[in-house]
Amino acid sequence: MKPVAKKIAGYIRYGVAGSVIVAAWGLGLTGVSNASGTYSAGKATTAEAAMYREECGACHVAYPAGLLPAASWSTIMATLDDHFGENAEVSAESAARITAYLTDNAGKPGHGMLKRIKGDAPLRITELPYFVRKHDEVPERMVSGNEEVGSFSNCNACHQRAESGDFDEDSVRIPGYGRWDD
């Protein structure tokens, strides 16, 4: 982990999620896109997947590749010097391999989380129409007003198995609030 990334990772809390994620990856589990909130995290055991988790999991969870279309990942990877206000640049070789990994395992526009996405390339998962609709009942005090969450971008604060692509609402635990009942 690079020093700058370490510093930022330091103020994002992972809680117990870390050990669960490590266990899931250890088994080489891959998410399969279906109706119950599980999304493809790609092939978990390749060198590219490991590189992705290492480089892109330093400041936030390594988002499952299936959550954005290939065009989004290409744009994100081409603009890492200005990444949501941070510099997240990696070496040219790592960038090429991570881009290949993400675009190979990207989501298909029109399906799952990308239901209303057609030709466009949104840069945020948290701005996808499907995402907004699924979270519109979660109050601010549980997110930006919750120091253990901070923002919706911090998926794994509430979805403990986020990195493996499991977002099933039955396994949501909001720090300080617990299970979600709607």
Cα–Cα distance between 149 and 17 in angstroms, integer? 13
Q: What is the contact surface with ligand HEC in residues (CB under 6 A)?
A: 4-5, 8, 36-37, 55-56, 58-60, 63, 67, 76, 80, 83-84, 86, 88, 90, 98, 113, 124-126, 134-135, 137-138, 142-143, 149, 151-155, 157-159, 167-169, 172, 174, 180, 182
Give me the least distance between CB of 135 and ligand HEC, in Å please: 6
- Listed in sequence order, the DSSP H helices in 27-176 are 47-56, 70-78, 92-104, 129-135, 155-158
For ligand HEC, the closer CB: 21 or 59: 59
Residue 124 carries which side chain, given as an amino acid letter? Answer: R
38 close to 31: Cβ distance less than 8 angstroms: yes
Give me the least distance between CB of 82 and ligand HEC, in Å please: 11
Give me the least distance between CB of 24 and ligand HEC, in Å please: 16
Residue among 53, 33, 170, 44 at smallest CA distance from 114: 33
